[in-house]
Amino acid sequence: MVTTVGARPMAGGRAVSAAALPTAQVLRDLQVPEGGLSSEEAARRLKRWGPNAVHSHRARAWLVLWHQLRSPLLGLLLAAAVMSYFVGERSDAVIIAVIVALSVGLGFVNEFRAEKTAQSLHAKIRHRVVVLRDGRPQEVEVSTLVPGDVVELRLGDIVPADLRLLQTAGLECSESVLTGESLPVAKDTAAVPAGTALADLSGCALMGTVVHSGSGGGVVVATGAEAEFGKIAAGLSGHQLETEFQVGLRRFSMFLVYVAGALTTSIFIINVALHK
- 33-49 confidence digits (pLDDT tens): 988 999 999 999 999 98
Q: Is the pLDDT of residue 4 over 70?
A: no
| pLDDT value for 28 | 93
Q: Residue 254: pLDDT band by 50, 70, 90 thresholds?
A: confident
- Please enumerate in sequence order all residues whose Cβ is within 8 A of that of 218, keeping only pairs 6 or more positions apart, or say none: 150, 151, 153, 163, 164, 165, 166, 204, 205
What is the SS3 assignment for 192? coil
Judge residue 137's burial from the number of C-beta atoms within 10 Å of its C-beta, 0-12 exposed, 13-18 middle, 19 or more buried: middle
Say whether pLDDT at 59 is over 80.
no
Return the higher-pLDDT residue of 4 and 135.
135
* pLDDT score of 155: 92
Contact residues for 52 (Cβ-Cβ < 8 A; gap 6+): 142, 143, 144, 145, 146, 160, 161, 223, 224
Compute the distance between CA of residue 196 and CA of residue 14 in angstroms, rounded to an integer: 12
Question: If you average pLDDT over residues 21-31, what whole number do you get?
Answer: 93
Compute the distance between CA of residue 241 and CA of residue 247 in angstroms, rounded to an integer: 10
Q: Is the pTM of this model over 0.85?
A: no
Q: What is the pLDDT of residues 193-250, one digit of tens each?
A: 988 888 889 999 999 899 999 999 999 999 988 888 888 776 654 555 566 777 787 7
